[in-house]
Amino acid sequence: MVKEWDGDLEGFTAIVLREQAKSDPLLDSTMRFIEHLRDYRENLAEAAVRRYEATEQWIECPKCETEVPTSNGIHCPNCGEDMRGGEYVRAILHLVDDADGRIYRGIDSLTVRSAGFPEYRGMSLDRIQGSNLWVSFRRYDPLPDEGIVLPTASVEMFEAQRSCIRQLQIGSPRTGSLAAELVDPGWLGTPPRVPLDGKRAHHLPDPNEEQAEAVARVMGMRPGQLYLIQGPPGTGKTTAIVESIRRILGRNPNSSILLSSHSNDAVDTGQERLLGFSHVRQARIAEPGKVPKRLRPTLVEGDDLEPYNLVAGTVNRLTIDSRLRFKVFDWLILDEANKVRANEALAVMPLAKRWVMIGDLNQLPPVMEEAASTFKITTPLDEMVRDDSFYGWIWDKVSGSSRILLPRQYRMREPIGRVVSDLFYEGKLIHEAPHPRMPLPWPFDRELVWVDTGAQDEYRDAQRSVANEFEVALCKDITSIIRRRVRKAKLAVIAMYNSQVNRLQGALKGIVPPDDIESVDAFEGRESDGVILSLVRSNDRAAIGFLNDPNRVNVAISRAKKLLVIVGDSKTVIGGAPELFGPLFEHCKEEGLVAGVGAVVTACQRVGIRSQVQRLSRPHRGDRRTRRRRRGQRPAGEAVANGEAAALSPNGEEPLPVQAQAEIEANGAPEPAPVESPTEAE
């Protein structure tokens, strides 16, 4: 009787909360934001028409599925198969007259038109670099060599979001549970714990104490409850997701789960971990070109999703899929929720009875596209809807027992992890990374190094993005040193600006794979054994732009597992954001090492390679004297005439940069290192 009475009381409370939600100001702000995005997309489709030239296309071998550029010939270099029967899967489109490709930022789908060819719609835009667009697709004939490219004018996603907000505003029963949660988060109390029974997964790590607590709460959730998980870098968010899914479906195979994220990469990661479980019947909803080959068997083209108990896809893709319109899942698990805005989250939440959101408030927020940045702000909620995630907005509104922090990080060696913990997580992280230190020469014989470049010249390219050639040369020296000593190490070089990324990709060919040279934003969610971070900015004004963003800096310094090298002008970045870069610089002094350019030059000599920074060294801004570029010592007469003495490197071959000279004068010249033979280098 009490249980039935409580049920009736909850039902009455839900009706009252649903009525209150009709006038929630969050819904008004979200509706205006959706309408702004829809109007912007329609206008952009008419204005963003540009001519292109297809500079490169990739074809997939019909036998071994290797992707090969068409310029490599008609035979697959991997298996020798004739590839003329394969599918074209990718292309680079160069915009004519070097038009700025950033006009297509925030666009998911493109259309190509060319005289004499049929219109091709639905190409996925994967990457923008200057005037080049990287697109993916699947077709049996190549794209035309030239034509026009324009955004696919699809507003279906915005109409689906608008429909959901409208249902909340009129009090529709379909969104009743969501409406109650908006008005009174946690009104149903804390999810009870469920004992974790069943067999362990032999090919997956066992969940730690906090992960097990999160999984137990997720399994015990009642319909209408929300549970939030915060996972700092390297703390095993994916482990918590996979354990929750496999245990829920192991306990009741007839349950249904919706797995989603803002990006396909995050969905791919969760799906891959679950491929070995026969009781998890997966269905992927996505464009085939956006799904890796190993997951394409999970794509479902038909209308019947009933045989599947796990359906996965991005937030926006699930929102517009007609097969899900009248289906309600038992759980929605939303990964990387800190990048999902309110208009996206509120559109996908009615598809499930229970909602689990995993993210990190201290990592990057939703991407600020051109469309979002032009939204007019009239209230504080408008700013939240544009700039923040739904996960970030509701975090402080739920009770402490309905959210959890995963504190044990397994990615970064302790000196790196301690910096991240102290600067961004109030020292709460516990460091349990098992990786050994990389065997490198001084000054890289530790986990954390800041190479202070001093004052150098930065400049802007035609797209107004900032670059720094001196830091490019330093990054080449550092990566060459690491490659000489640890050939198989997985390295990544990341930079704060796309223009710097372009120059790094050109300079590091053959040293670091192009896919591992990215901007900080693009590298979020990834990791590498060694990471070299180029800060880029160096000027007298201490102007650092969007480097003054704690979330971006957190992402940048938390990608490395064994070695983090920060390359930058400490005076500029500390002057621009003393409360952010000041403590970071001090931590580098205490936990690692702050070195100068001369230390890198010395390390190059120790491993037997020629340093690239000597040609570009500019120790004093504004110094216009012409420097000799040929090898050897300057004539003695010239040095005496200038009142200076030219310092030589320890091997007596090349003049050192002034900054390197100063270090040697202070510390004494190191012994010249013998050049290693190839066998010793290995």
Per the document, the length of the chain is 682
Give 196's DSSP letter: -
Q: Which of 186-200, 252-266, 337-351, 361-375 has the lowest mean pLDDT?
A: 186-200
Whether 361 and 280 share a structural domain? yes
pLDDT digits (tens, 9 = 90+) for 323-372: 998 899 999 999 999 999 999 999 999 999 999 999 999 999 998 888 89
Residue 615 in tokens: 């040609």
* pTM of structure: 0.81
Specify whether 255 is located in the same domain as 390. Answer: yes
Structure tokens at 581: 């870069």
Residue with tokens 């051109």: 370
Tokens standing for residue 189: 């109390």
Per-residue pLDDT tens digits for 430-487: 999 999 999 999 999 999 999 999 998 898 887 778 999 999 999 999 999 999 999 8
Pair 361, 395: CB distance under 8 Å = yes
Helix 550-557 and helix 578-591, axial crossing angle in degrees, nearest 10: 20
Q: Which of 298-307, 409-418, 473-482 has the lowest mean pLDDT?
A: 298-307
Taking a C-beta distance cutoff of 8 angstroms, is the pair 291, 268 a contact? yes
Helices (H), 234-379: 237-251, 264-273, 315-320, 342-348, 370-373
Alpha carbon 406 to its chain's center: 20
Regarding whether 429 and 400 lie in a shared domain, the answer is no
Say whether pLDDT at 142 is over 60: yes
Token pair of 644 as six digits? 């200076």
Continuous segment of H or E residues that includes residue 448: strand 448-452
* 215 & 323 share domain: yes
If residue 469 lies in a helix (H) or strand (E), which one and from where to where?
helix 469-485
669 lies in some domain: no
What would the pLDDT profile of 29-83 be if each residue is shown by its tens digit? 999 999 999 888 888 777 788 999 999 998 888 888 788 888 878 888 888 888 8
Confidence category of residue 654, pLDDT binned at 50, 70, 90: very low
Number of domains present in the structure of the chain? 3
Q: Residue 145 maps to which CATH number?
A: 2.40.30
If asked whether residues 251 and 299 sit together in one domain, one would say yes
Q: Three-class SS of residue 52?
A: strand
Q: Which domain holds residue 55?
A: 45-153
Residues sharing a CB contact under 8 Å with residue 651, sequence separation 6 or more, in sequence order: 605, 672
Residue 413 lies in a domain: no
- 654 occurs within a structural domain: no
User: Using H for helix, E for strand and C for coil, what is the string for 600-656?
Assistant: HHHHHHHHCCCCCHHHHCCCCCCCCCCCCCCCCCCCHHHHHHCCCCCCECCCCCCEC
Name the helix (H) or strand (E) containing 460. strand 459-460
CATH number at residue 224: 3.40.50.300
Band (402; pLDDT cuts 50, 70, 90): very high
For the chain, state the CA radius of gyration. 28
Are residues 229 and 352 located together in one domain of the fold? yes
Shared domain for 211 and 353, answered yes or no, is yes
User: Which of 339, 333, 389 is closest to 364 using CA atoms?
Assistant: 339
Query: Which whole number is the average pLDDT over 569-576?
Result: 96
381 and 464 assigned to the same domain: no
Which tens digit of pLDDT belongs to each residue from 592-614?
999 999 999 999 999 999 999 87
Dihedral angle of Cα 431, 435, 437, 440, to the nearest 10 degrees: -130
Residues 290, 120: Cα–Cα separation, whole Å: 17
Question: Are 323 and 363 contained in the same domain?
Answer: yes
355 in a structural domain: yes
- Band of residue 670 on the pLDDT scale cut at 50, 70, 90: very low
Bond preceding residue 443 cis, omega within 30 of 0: yes
Residue 141 pLDDT level (bands cut at 50, 70, 90): confident
DSSP H stretches of helix in 48-90: none
- 647 pLDDT above the threshold of 90: no
Could you tell me if residue 656 is inside a domain?
no
Report the candidate in 238, 239, 226, 224 with the shortest Cα–Cα distance to residue 356.
Answer: 226
pLDDT at 643 over 70: no
Extended beta strands in 237-380, E state: 257-261, 282-284, 310-314, 329-334, 352-359
Closest by CA to 124, choosing from 139, 109, 134, is 109
Lowest average pLDDT, out of 48-57, 190-199, 539-548, 668-677, goes to 668-677
Mean per-residue pLDDT, 87-93? 87
Question: In this structure, are 288 and 139 located in the same domain?
Answer: no
341 is a domain residue: yes
H or E element that contains 570: helix 570-576
Which of 376, 406, 436 is the C-terminal boundary of a domain? 406
- Smallest CA-to-CA distance from 185 within 240, 153, 225, 237 is with 225
For tokens 């500390």, name the residue.
574
Looking at the domain assignment, is residue 123 inside a domain? yes
Shared domain check, 181 and 147? no
pLDDT band at 658 (very low <50, low <70, confident <90, very high): very low
Q: Do both 376 and 323 map to the same domain?
A: yes
Q: Has residue 651 been placed in a domain?
A: no
